[in-house]
Amino acid sequence: MYIIMLGAPGSGKGTLAKELSKEYNLVHISTGDIFRENIKNETELGKKANEYISKGQLVPDDLTIDLVKNRLSQEDVKNGAILDGFPRTTHQAEELEKFIKNNNPIQTVAVLLDIPDEDLVKRVVNRVICSNKECGAIYNTEFRKPKQEGICDICGSKLIKRADDNEETVRDRLKVYHDNSKEIIEYYDNENVLFTLHPNIYSETVLEDNLSKVKGHLKEKVTK
Ligand code: AMP
């Protein structure tokens, strides 16, 4: 199955995607992570993408769609994948649907994390991530603190802030998200594959709650 994670920046979709990836043994493909890796390695793609990412804008569709199609053609995606951060436009969604139909026609489910903007700003501004990309654990200095400040609970690496996790960029990204997400949410709603969660991000058990709701939903809906 393909699970498409939908939700604004900071909605917790990355964290939930990682858990779902373990639970169902599906690769977790985050377009944001792939772009950041390319920026770090100063590849041509990274340089082009960074012109948009640094301003909180979307990377153009042609670059993004090619990148995802390449990734979905790899062997480890034959049972499906968790897509995190893609699609973000209707054109991307249509191209994805065509690709899946033509190459690997298995079931698609979209999971939307619906959270008020002001809660999201607080969450993103306090977000720190593990500097070890193999681990990539995500923490929040207010709601999901690591046991030891600045250190990853899982692998012991240093925790860092993402360059685009500041209030000004987050507000720009939320605006971009709202401008684009309406059509994407409608797209999956019309396809009858949308599952919406309204997580309470102040709850200690928000991740477990989300996970159990999604598992319950998939058990009922996914047959292949
Ligand atoms: P994320 O980590 O998903 O918040 O992505 C970080 C940034 O990468 C976004 O603000 C966009 O600039 C870019 N990006 C990630 N995924 C996409 C996509 N599907 N389409 C266009 N731009 C993207």
What would the pLDDT profile of 185-194 be if each residue is shown by its tens digit? 999 999 999 9
Residue-by-residue DSSP string for 99-141: HHHHH----EEEEEE---HHHHHHHHHTEEEES-TTT--EEET
Confidence label for 224 from pLDDT (cuts 50, 70 and 90): low
Nearest ligand 1 atom, CA 173: 10
Place of tokens 């009922």: 220
Residue 195 to residue 172: CA distance in whole angstroms: 26
Report the pocket of ligand 1 as residue ranges, CB < 6 Å. Answer: 9, 31-32, 35, 52-53, 56-59, 64, 85-88, 92, 173
Confidence label for 202 from pLDDT (cuts 50, 70 and 90): confident
- Could you tell me if 173 and 9 are in contact, meaning their C-beta atoms sit under 8 angstroms apart? yes
Residues of the chain with pLDDT > 70, as a percent, come to 99
Q: What is the pLDDT of residues 62-92, one digit of tens each?
A: 999 999 999 999 999 999 999 999 999 899 9
Structure tokens given for 164: 């685009």
Task: Write down the pTM of the prediction.
Answer: 0.83
Residue 59 CA, ligand 1 centroid: distance in Å? 7
Q: What is the pLDDT of residues 7-24, one digit of tens each?
A: 998 898 988 999 999 999
Strand segments (E) across the chain: 2-7, 27-30, 81-84, 108-113, 127-130, 138-140, 159-160, 194-197
Whether 88 is catalytic: yes
Q: What is the pLDDT of residue 76?
A: 95
Burial class, 35, CB count within 10 angstroms (exposed 0-12 / middle 13-18 / buried 19+): buried
Q: What is the pLDDT of residues 92-117, one digit of tens each?
A: 999 999 999 999 889 999 999 999 99
DSSP state of 202: T
Ligand 1 atom 1, closest CA = 32
